[in-house]
């Protein structure tokens, strides 16, 4: 039996993600939650974060429990720390899934003999790095809001693509809802990827081009993007 470990952080959407994996019959050897986060050197909030959290709390846990099984999660300050390395070693993973951690060191990557896949909120060939969905909106490329599941390699968001799906925009959608819908997409794609991995049929292909790397979106730009996306979706007919 293959051991699958998850590397993530403690948020509502990650809890939904993990519990949905278990309900779908995916066996998880363990999950490391990274507790330390890199702070942006400039203001990036507040804007729609409270609405985002409230929307997710309301919608994620109608049928899926929020509480995770006891003993599933280990908290570590950094996913690359000696403590994390020891925890991963004890899990003895064959394969891993990354969703919402900082950059992973080559030493940690090598601890997964069958590789790691990462959830990237964006179309990686166009937008790498942080806030990829917001940067796509900023550039009026609404078609590049979505999710890429790709193999992890030392350079961020450049690994071979396993699955990719764009988010369907509908009339009345709001910016604070994007993370909810991309989390649903990510969950479905990772379940499919893990089932393919366990059956020996997982495939991947090189990215068609290397997307530009983006960092945190400053608050002032985020305000523009928020209004822009909301206005755009108001005019949609579907």
Give, in degrees to the nearest 5, the angle at Cα 163 between 235 and 215. Answer: 65
Report how far Cα 78 is from the mean position of its chain's Cα atoms. Answer: 17
Strands (E) in the chain, as ranges, are: 4-8, 30-34, 73-76, 95-98, 116-120, 127-129, 146-151, 161-166, 212-214
Q: What is the 3-state secondary structure (H, E, C) of 104-116?
A: CCHHHHCCCCCCE
Three-state SS at 201: coil
CATH superfamily, domain 4-234, is: Formyl transferase, N-terminal domain (3.40.50.170)
Rounded mean pLDDT of 179-184? 98
Cβ within 8 Å of residue 199, ≥6 positions away: none
pLDDT of amino acid 172: 96
Quote the pTM value: 0.97
What is the per-residue pLDDT for 238?
A: 73
Q: Tell me: pLDDT of 194 over 90.
A: yes
pLDDT of res. 217: 98
Please say whether the beta carbons of 159 and 165 come within 8 A.
Answer: no
Domain boundaries, the chain: 4-234
């Amino acid at each position: 039996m293959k051991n699958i470990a998850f590397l993530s952080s403690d948020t509502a959407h990650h809890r939904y993600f993990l519990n949905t994996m278990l309900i779908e019959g995916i066996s998880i050897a363990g999950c490391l939650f990274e507790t330390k986060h890199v702070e942006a050197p400039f203001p990036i909030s507040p804007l729609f974060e409270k609405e985002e959290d409230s929307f997710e709390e309301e919608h994620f846990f109608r049928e899926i429990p929020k509480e995770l099984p006891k003993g599933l999660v280990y908290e570590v300050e950094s996913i690359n720390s000696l403590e994390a390395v020891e925890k991963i070693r004890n899990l003895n993973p064959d394969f891993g899934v990354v969703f919402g951690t900082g950059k992973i060191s080559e030493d940690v990557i090598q601890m997964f003999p069958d590789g790691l896949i990462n959830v990237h909120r964006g179309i990686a060939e166009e937008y790498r790095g942080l806030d990829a969905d917001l940067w796509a909106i900023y550039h009026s490329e609404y078609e590049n809001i979505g999710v890429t599941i790709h193999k992890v390699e030392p350079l961020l968001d450049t690994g071979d693509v396993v699955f990719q799906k764009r988010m369907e925009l509908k009339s009345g959608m709001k910016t604070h809802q994007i993370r909810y819908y991309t989390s649903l997409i990510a969950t479905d794609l990772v379940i499919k990827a893990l089932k393919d991995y366990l059956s020996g049929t997982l495939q991947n292909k090189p990215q068609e081009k290397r997307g530009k790397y983006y960092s945190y979106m400053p608050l002032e730009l985020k305000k523009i993007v928020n209004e822009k996306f909301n206005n755009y979706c108001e005019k949609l007919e579907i």
